[in-house]
Chains A and B, each alone.
Chain A
Amino acid sequence: MISFVLRRLASAVPTLFIVVTISFFLMRFAPGGPFNLERPLPPTTMENLMRTYHLDQPLWRQYVTYLSNAVTGDFGPSYIYHDNNVAQLIGKGLPYSMELGFYALILAVVGGVIAGTIAALRQNSFLDFAVMSVSTIGVTVPNFVVGPVLTLIFAIMLAWLPAGGWGDGSFRFLVLPMIALALPQLAVFARLTRGSMIEALNTDHIRTAKAYGLPSRAVVITHAMRGAMLPVVSYLAPCAAALLTGSAVVETIFTIPGVGRYFVLGAINRDYTLVMGTVILIAIFVIVFNLLVDILYGLLDPRVRHD
């Protein structure tokens, strides 16, 4: 097991390296720069800025410098947020995004799995129809529609919940963004669970379990559920990585000071280092969650156990 984890972490290094390299050069070869503002800066100021941030050096040198700094955890200064470097910005924003994302993930997984299981067990009933309709809405209606609509209903018309912001961090502030964030994923989990549950219920070994008179609770929970969870678990990795690293849309609509907005802001302003920082952050989350999910998968399915 330990050797499996170590091997996987070792193989993550080249992946991370390639991701960083592609992103770095992709951005640098694009026209424009962080200081090409609408009103051009005086040439001397520009020159000074370029020198301060080492942007006047040859590209390969900047790349080498960036890599060697990044390894030590120094992701460079932000070009727009002058008061903070990238590591500080991410350090500040990440807890907000992760807390919100964590609640949304719990809601999506628990809600989706329960709804999907109910729909599968009562296939073609009214309940099934209701669950599938709601999940179709969840899949098709993007969160930048859901967010404003939720705000309109619950914050403006009913005035039950705050319309946005983090406030004192109490749960009231989290409810609406959490729902907006979780709904599409909840829908995906519900559909996945329903599909794989129906498939699992039709397998030969479920027939065996029934033929041996096991109570239906045991059939469903011990035999069908465990097999049906395998595809759900696989989807957990990309989903968790996406939710925990923040959503640009939801954080913008509900004015939450998370890291989700950074990559859009960074990209628009050509804030090279901020963009690189978020890319690395997301890539690390993806790698870590893929690893965690693979371990979990191995625990669930003896056929892929990692020795």
Chain B
Amino acid sequence: MTDIVQIPAAAPETKGRSLFQLAALRFRRNRAAMAGCIMLALIALFSFVGPFFSPHSYDQVFPSYVSIGPNLEPRPDTSTLQEVMESVAARARVTLKEFNVEGEAFTATVTSEQPIDPRATRYFDRANEFENTKVVATEDEGRTLKVEGQVDREYFPFGTDSNGRDLLVRVMLGGQISIAVGLLASLVSLGLGVFYGATSGYIGGRVDNVMMRFVEILYSLPFVFLVVVLVVFFGRSFILIFLVIGAVEWLDMARIVRGQTLALKRREFVGAAQALGLTDWQIIRRHIIPNTIGPVIVFVTVVVPKVILLESFLSFLGLGVQSPLTSWGALISEGANNIQSAPWLLIFPAIFFVVTLFSLNFVGDGLRDALDPKDR
């Protein structure tokens, strides 16, 4: 009842601020929400651009580096090279006489009872630690070879998984899939929900009754279960997973949009538009849709993390995307299985996952505060 806010006299060239501009201003003032936005941008950048800067691909297997812990130092460690070289020599059935490493290059002298086939260098290259091995000198009628080559140093800042794949790249890939599923499934649920809810709400009457009854029946199906059944029975492709999740999540959206539409229909400005002679379609376009956008945006920020959780839940149960593709949920599940021997497999994907969900949560709260009409 207090109408304290005084309207300043309009200056000649004033441009008003729309509610959206005001909301954007309020949102920008919210530090937690802005930090969330920045975090999300960084994580998206990491997931989608990161792989271009990594020499490893997500399905590249390093048999020499199975389940190694996270380390910022390059692999292999110089002190272990002698050992590695010995085992390589043993595999090539030669004896290692001399081995030196200088910087990135190594020289080795190997001998054998029999003349050595120069193709034995292949054994050196086959090890992940060495590359470009060349024979530089042959002595003792081929019984002694001098070889030179480069030490292949690999960086695994996040360590590797039990198949010897680079966890860093796999977390990036997992991010791509999780974010993509989250956004696409939310779009599916948004499209379905807005269309269904707006139709039901605007037409009203018996049509509305029947349409909402149908939604109620779908609600009474145990839904996580339905997703599981759909995924199990119709395959596990990426597209199907987000379609299925989107198809499950649209019910809430439909209800929200319907409620909004019903409320808007009773607002006087819609009555005024009817009195002006606008058609139904003009009213929906000019008055209904622009006014449902606020709550819909807020709800989308709730759906995205929910969808990501649902996808990761499916992956955890082994029903998500198939290897070698992966998602954060699948990585976390792998980590949970190896929690005693390789805890980093749980920790890294979990950190990214949790930070993303946290950021989305803050952004959602910020948007809700910024768009909430009760505020003004």
Chain A residues with CB under 8 Å of chain B are 15, 18-19, 22-23, 26-27, 30-32, 136-137, 139-142, 144-145, 147-149, 151-152, 156, 248-249, 252-253, 263-264, 267-268, 270, 275, 278-279, 282-283, 286-287
- A26 engages B229 (CB within 8 Å): yes
Q: In the complex, what residue of chain A is closest to B358 when comparing beta carbons?
A: A140
B residues near A148, Cβ cutoff 8 Å:
335-336, 339, 346
- B312 engages A32 (CB within 8 Å): no
Q: In the assembled complex, how far is the CB of residue B304 from the closest CB belonging to chain A, in whole angstroms? A: 12
Q: Please list the 5 inter-chain residue pairs (A to B) with the smallest Cβ-Cβ separation, ordered nearest first.
A: A30-B233, A140-B357, A148-B336, A282-B222, A144-B316
- B354 engages A248 (CB within 8 Å): no
- A136 engages B361 (CB within 8 Å): yes
B260: CB under 8 A from chain A? no
- B354 engages A264 (CB within 8 Å): no
Q: Mark B216-252, 1 if CB is under 8 A from A, else 0.
A: 0100111001101110111000000000000000000
| Chain B stretch 36-90: residues in CB contact (< 8 A) with chain A | none
Q: In the complex, what residue of chain A is closest to B336 when comparing beta carbons?
A: A148
- A19 engages B221 (CB within 8 Å): yes
B333: CB under 8 A from chain A? yes
Q: In the assembled complex, how far is the CB of residue B305 from the closest CB belonging to chain A, in whole angstroms? A: 7
Range class of the B interface residue count:
35 or more
B residues near A278, Cβ cutoff 8 Å:
222, 225
Choose one: A22, A141, A144, A147; the contact of B354 (CB below 8 Å). A141
Cα of A147 to Cα of B332 in the assembled complex, Å: 11
- B222 engages A151 (CB within 8 Å): no
- B354 engages A263 (CB within 8 Å): no
Q: In the complex, what residue of chain B is closest to A285 when comparing beta carbons?
A: B222
- B339 engages A152 (CB within 8 Å): yes
A residues near B228, Cβ cutoff 8 Å:
263-264, 267
A residues near B222, Cβ cutoff 8 Å:
263, 278-279, 282-283, 286
B residues near A30, Cβ cutoff 8 Å:
229, 232-234
A residues near B305, Cβ cutoff 8 Å:
140
- B312 engages A142 (CB within 8 Å): yes
Cα of A253 to Cα of B312 in the assembled complex, Å: 15
Offer 6 A-B interface pairs, CB within 8 angstroms, sorted by A. Answer: A22-B221, A137-B354, A149-B350, A152-B346, A267-B225, A267-B228
Q: In the assembled complex, how far is the CB of residue A289 from the closest CB belonging to chain B, in whole angstroms? A: 12
